[in-house]
Structure 1
């Protein structure tokens, strides 16, 4: 057994124990959260200490085009990739014995590559650490299982269940609804166990074929790594049973969208105490300031939390989606919710992030808003009591283009996330948005072709 395998987490060592490791996938998440990298024989991986990829992988759009970044010389220099062995995880869907290893990305000077999403999140976490804080995150992942769709012009349909009928919507928390696609859920559990992931729970959401997975709370980077791995895991589990898993924000017309709810708390790095609670168990000023930062800066972060044109179709009144920046206690109509919890676990749930966002960037942007609120001592508005859907204020951007305009103009958010990252991200997203605007939709053909 090669010496490098001694650095692997226990679940990875257990997976390859007594077997010949065939292949290692050297991967990094790009701006969309897609795994980029290279696969190689395990014997080759064992002899190399670093790997290379061109920096343009972070300039690729979701459609496969390339954004023009101001000031770029377009020589495609290599970045240096170094394995983070703590992330090593099984790829149990492969035919041979394979491990995935997330790599950290560096410039040739040795500095962290500032556009790499994992480095963006590490940058934000370090800002917390510099003040003696450690952010804690607990994500909720919503997604749809859908029938195989080979024609982009055809609407997406729910999957066929074990009863021979298509999954039905408006069956939130129904155990029978989950049982309809139980074989897929079983594979998800099996893959997760092989990868060392612990699932808090799986529930049926309100959409037809819509599922939610709750994950344990923990350190920000580790939770983002887990979501990154989980999205691939879930897609592979669905393919085992002749359906697709999609993390689109709004895949099916008339059904609720899919969110990545982010529960945030912050720990004092020295004492281990939750800084959102005082010694008597009450809420601290710091907690209020965290909420105030969310209300102040989330509009500028929406381009990261809702990164595609489809993302904005999720924000529909009464469709289990937040359309505001109100905060409330145990109130799911607000964009910012304080769940029922004791003083030690006091936290804020950001309900705005879509499941289509890059988990590293979504968590980084959300934490950035709270961080700015704490250091600027931003006070929140009064608590929303009752339905937040009654408000008429348009606080959030309604399109990707509008979100990018706010993102471009918000100096504090750009400083926290890093100006170089923000420049590349904005260029990629504006390229995607421009391409979308050239597409003529079926609605336009149906209603405008002969009527205007």
Structure 2
């Protein structure tokens, strides 16, 4: 895997020692020889080999850097990717069978993701890994591979999707007891943060030192933030990322979530990506801007040469309208996610589309034809970024291939109209399993595994008695 001879420096004509450019890269190297030099130049002691599970939680192994670069074989049990958010395992059902041997899956580091871990006290690096079977085949049901598979299916048709996620999250007081409601933190003014601070610079400034750490941690990892704003909720922020390749952007969201949580903990508060963490406050979304380019020309296939909309653009929207309700389980993956999807708010509960209309599920922002894109406003920030992107792009691709026509664009507010999405987890799972076109693109091994996990999570939730039940049922029924 690696030539033991490490060359972190070369000698120039002047006889001076010259440091190769690649070792100064903040993010990624091309091969194992470069990886060894990159690690040596930074005196890295430990490596975190991480990969997202079905919930988007980082799983993996830590090891000394010398072991990492010495042909070490890395593996994780397959059960890691069949685990519910509470740590349980689903029952065999609906095509899902838990593997009796719980065999190992091999971790394959993607060296293009190698970066430092800036919040660690000892020099530490991290690398995102893919999962393969023992014979080298990609594991069909792991999230990063699911997204890669969707992107590859675009490529088969000469297309490449481009995405730009926007991630909302809340800063909240530390809350070690889950029986107590979450509350907004105190900013530098000494007062609890209030709501109604949309786009407020003063609201952002309340957390100057924390935001400085987020920027610093991000820059050190080679992660690029486009903009950061204060949202409407009390202590709710949003980070927008620059557009690019779906897998690369999913990697960035995966790492940003870790980064933001760590930066918040440094300041003795929590950062949460729950869809609806605080009662009577807005929910948190992960809006996804999507466009598609021609692999050969690089041109946006949503725009004709004269700037007019293409049939491909309309078919992409048609696919979203028809199939997103069936993919909702990947965009709103928990019971709490459905608390965000309520009428009369800026959160869409419909499948409508429109031009610069934030009450629709699929908004077409104002832009030049070359930048024409569709914003999917349904996903919540608790979604696994790999699976949310895979689901949204898969629905658009189905629309393109099946030439699905959209309905007329909405020119007025439609957020108070009839709810057109599943109202709960079990209904969403059933619709997901019944969509043959969607399951075909995502793969049956993933679909059966994911559906089984979600059913098991719902059953776990049903074992918990809520404060609402104690308040209204205890003495009244």
TM range (shorter): over 0.9
**Residues in 2 aligned to 1:209 and 1:4: alpha-carbon distance in whole angstroms:** 48
Q: Judging changes above 3 Å, is the alpha-carbon distance between structure 1 residues 313 and 8 closer, same or farther for their aligned structure 2 residues?
A: farther
Does residue 442 (structure 1) correspond to residue 467 (structure 2)? The answer is yes
Q: Judging changes above 3 Å, is the alpha-carbon distance between structure 1 residues 15 and 334 closer, same or farther for their aligned structure 2 residues?
A: farther
Report what 2:76 is aligned to. 53
**Residues in 2 aligned to 1:230 and 1:8: alpha-carbon distance in whole angstroms:** 23
Q: Tell me if the contact between 1:156 and 1:251 (Cα under 8 Å) persists in the aligned partners.
A: yes
TM-aligned CA deviation for residue 110 of structure 1:
1.2
**Residues in 2 aligned to 1:8 and 1:427: alpha-carbon distance in whole angstroms:** 44
**Residues in 2 aligned to 1:152 and 1:44: alpha-carbon distance in whole angstroms:** 40
**Residues in 2 aligned to 1:2 and 1:174: alpha-carbon distance in whole angstroms:** 54
Q: Which of 335, 338, 363 pairs up with 2:364?
A: 338
- Give the structure with higher Rg (CA): 2
Report what 1:29 is aligned to. 52
Q: Tell me if the contact between 1:50 and 1:83 (Cα under 8 Å) persists in the aligned partners.
A: no
Report what 2:249 is aligned to. 223
Q: Tell me if the contact between 1:327 and 1:336 (Cα under 8 Å) persists in the aligned partners.
A: yes
Q: Give the secondary structure class of the aligned counterpart of 2:120.
A: coil
TM-aligned CA deviation for residue 319 of structure 1:
2.9
TM-aligned CA deviation for residue 320 of structure 1:
2.1
The equivalences for 1:26-425 within 5 A come to: 26-69=49-92, 70-392=96-418, 394-425=419-450
Residues 398-436 of structure 1: per-residue CA shift (max 9 Å, x gap): 101110110111111111100000111011110000110
Q: Judging changes above 3 Å, is the alpha-carbon distance between structure 1 residues 189 and 73 closer, same or farther for their aligned structure 2 residues?
A: closer
**Residues in 2 aligned to 1:4 and 1:79: alpha-carbon distance in whole angstroms:** 32
**Residues in 1 aligned to 2:66 and 2:39: alpha-carbon distance in whole angstroms:** 14
Report what 1:10 is aligned to. 25
Q: Judging changes above 3 Å, is the alpha-carbon distance between structure 1 residues 3 and 284 closer, same or farther for their aligned structure 2 residues?
A: farther
TM-aligned CA deviation for residue 72 of structure 1:
3.0
**Residues in 1 aligned to 2:7 and 2:364: alpha-carbon distance in whole angstroms:** 44
Q: Judging changes above 3 Å, is the alpha-carbon distance between structure 1 residues 360 and 81 closer, same or farther for their aligned structure 2 residues?
A: same
**Residues in 2 aligned to 1:152 and 1:359: alpha-carbon distance in whole angstroms:** 25
Report what 2:43 is aligned to. 20
**Residues in 1 aligned to 2:276 and 2:121: alpha-carbon distance in whole angstroms:** 33
TM-aligned CA deviation for residue 71 of structure 1:
3.0
Moved more, 315-324 or 332-341: 315-324
TM-aligned CA deviation for residue 16 of structure 1:
5.7
Residues 306-335 of structure 1: per-residue CA shift (max 9 Å, x gap): 000000011122332111111010010111
Residues 105-124 of structure 1: per-residue CA shift (max 9 Å, x gap): 10112110001100000000
Q: Tell me if the contact between 1:312 and 1:398 (Cα under 8 Å) persists in the aligned partners.
A: yes
Q: Judging changes above 3 Å, is the alpha-carbon distance between structure 1 residues 320 and 20 closer, same or farther for their aligned structure 2 residues?
A: same
Residues 20-64 of structure 1: per-residue CA shift (max 9 Å, x gap): 111000111000000001000111111125311111101111101
**Residues in 2 aligned to 1:46 and 1:373: alpha-carbon distance in whole angstroms:** 45
Q: Tell me if the contact between 1:8 and 1:85 (Cα under 8 Å) persists in the aligned partners.
A: no
Q: Judging changes above 3 Å, is the alpha-carbon distance between structure 1 residues 2 and 148 closer, same or farther for their aligned structure 2 residues?
A: farther
| TM-score after normalising by structure 2 | 0.92
**Residues in 2 aligned to 1:378 and 1:450: alpha-carbon distance in whole angstroms:** 53
Q: How many residue pairs are counted as aligned between the two chains?
A: 451
Q: Give the secondary structure class of the aligned counterpart of 2:140.
A: coil
**Residues in 1 aligned to 2:23 and 2:88: alpha-carbon distance in whole angstroms:** 36
Q: Give the secondary structure class of the aligned counterpart of 2:166.
A: strand
Residues 272-292 of structure 1: per-residue CA shift (max 9 Å, x gap): 100000000010000000000
Q: Tell me if the contact between 1:335 and 1:351 (Cα under 8 Å) persists in the aligned partners.
A: yes
**Residues in 1 aligned to 2:367 and 2:384: alpha-carbon distance in whole angstroms:** 28
**Residues in 1 aligned to 2:345 and 2:268: alpha-carbon distance in whole angstroms:** 28
Q: Tell me if the contact between 1:67 and 1:428 (Cα under 8 Å) persists in the aligned partners.
A: yes
The two structures, once aligned, show a CA RMSD in angstroms of: 1.7
Q: Tell me if the contact between 1:140 and 1:262 (Cα under 8 Å) persists in the aligned partners.
A: yes
**Residues in 2 aligned to 1:232 and 1:264: alpha-carbon distance in whole angstroms:** 24
Q: Give the secondary structure class of the aligned counterpart of 1:164.
A: coil
Q: Judging changes above 3 Å, is the alpha-carbon distance between structure 1 residues 24 and 380 closer, same or farther for their aligned structure 2 residues?
A: same
**Residues in 1 aligned to 2:449 and 2:7: alpha-carbon distance in whole angstroms:** 35
Q: Give the secondary structure class of the aligned counterpart of 1:389.
A: coil
| TM-score after normalising by structure 1 | 0.97
